[in-house]
């Protein structure tokens, strides 16, 4: 959840996200894909500091990250200005922790935080629905970060609704291991590979909704529901990047975990049972993927 201090400058938390369930049901005429997804933020993420200025600017502690107009934070700022006519500005300072090319939504989370901060600076000129519309123009994942909790996402990402309270309450606080190899996966590539399989690559919409309903029923009833989780992009990503399924099977065999890909990857996650041997699991990941691997234990927010 974003947190905004009532002082200047404002400091906002920009959480990473996990696609607990991700169905791809078809390709739209505009080239985007139709999705059905359960998305949950985690307690780990970036930090964005925002203070009023004459114009928009961005600095970041990661020198590898672009801080020009290609960055989603500045794209969000320009989209907000275009939508509202607000002539103010802001100086953004980003502490980057979420790895790039991971399927964890780092750039989109940063952009959503920027939109929320700018709307506050401008006096709340946009109602939540209008702010979500601007977020959807910035990026498909941006709207899902606005509610500040687990959501069901549909369409290309522009249709977002909070998870039912019973299910959200069951998910909150669940420990999760996030692990990413030293290489990224490009989201456009992953969807292009799925599209190349034509209709054979897509899950029927009715099946996706049925799996979603069953998962939400199980979780709301107090069951884990983890057996209902899936990610349709795994079939193309795992076929090329074999290090991912190899490690998944190793963690499944040694520890009984059920790792999944988040988004298009390359980050994977595993929901951890109580008493899981975290140090031993982490050691296996690092032994498999080397020192460049990103490994983190956090909780669903």
Active-site annotation holds for 17: yes
Integer-rounded Cα radius of gyration of the chain: 19
CB 127 within 8 A of CB 16: no
Q: Which of 75, 110, 116, 141 is catalytic?
A: 141
Q: What's the burial of 188, exposed, middle or buried (CB within 10 Å: 0-12/13-18/19+)?
A: exposed
Active-site annotation holds for 96: no
Six-digit token string for 5 = 């201090």
Catalytic residues: 17, 141
């Amino acid at each position: 959840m974003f947190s905004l201090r009532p002082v200047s400058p404002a400091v906002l938390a920009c959480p990473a996200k996990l696609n607990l369930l991700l169905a791809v049901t078809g390709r739209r005429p505009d080239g985007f894909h139709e999705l059905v997804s359960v998305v949950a933020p985690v307690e780990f993420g970036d930090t964005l500091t925002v203070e009023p200025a004459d114009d928009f600017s961005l600095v970041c502690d990661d020198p590898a990250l672009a801080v020009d107009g290609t960055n989603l934070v500045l794209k969000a700022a320009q989209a907000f200005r275009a939508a509202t006519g607000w002539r103010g500005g802001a100086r953004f300072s980003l502490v980057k922790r979420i790895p790039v090319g991971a399927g964890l939504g780092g750039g989109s989370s940063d952009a959503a935080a920027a939109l929320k901060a700018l709307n506050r600076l401008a006096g709340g000129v946009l109602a939540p629905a209008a702010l979500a519309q601007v977020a959807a123009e910035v990026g498909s994942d941006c709207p899902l970060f606005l509610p500040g909790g687990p959501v069901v996402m549909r369409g290309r990402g522009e249709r977002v609704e909070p998870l039912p309270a019973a299910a959200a309450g069951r998910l909150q606080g669940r420990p999760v291991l996030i692990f990413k190899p030293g290489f990224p996966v490009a989201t456009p590539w992953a969807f292009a590979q799925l599209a190349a399989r034509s209709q054979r690559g897509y899950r029927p919409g009715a099946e996706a909704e049925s799996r979603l309903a069953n998962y939400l029923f199980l979780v709301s009833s107090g069951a884990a529901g983890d057996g209902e989780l899936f990610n349709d992009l795994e079939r193309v990503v795992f076929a090329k990047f074999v290090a991912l399924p190899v490690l998944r099977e190793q963690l499944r065999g040694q520890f009984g975990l059920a790792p999944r890909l988040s988004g298009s990857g390359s980050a994977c996650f595993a929901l951890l049972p109580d008493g899981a041997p975290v140090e031993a699991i982490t050691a296996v990941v690092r032994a498999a993927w080397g020192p460049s691997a990103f490994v983190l234990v956090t909780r669903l927010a």
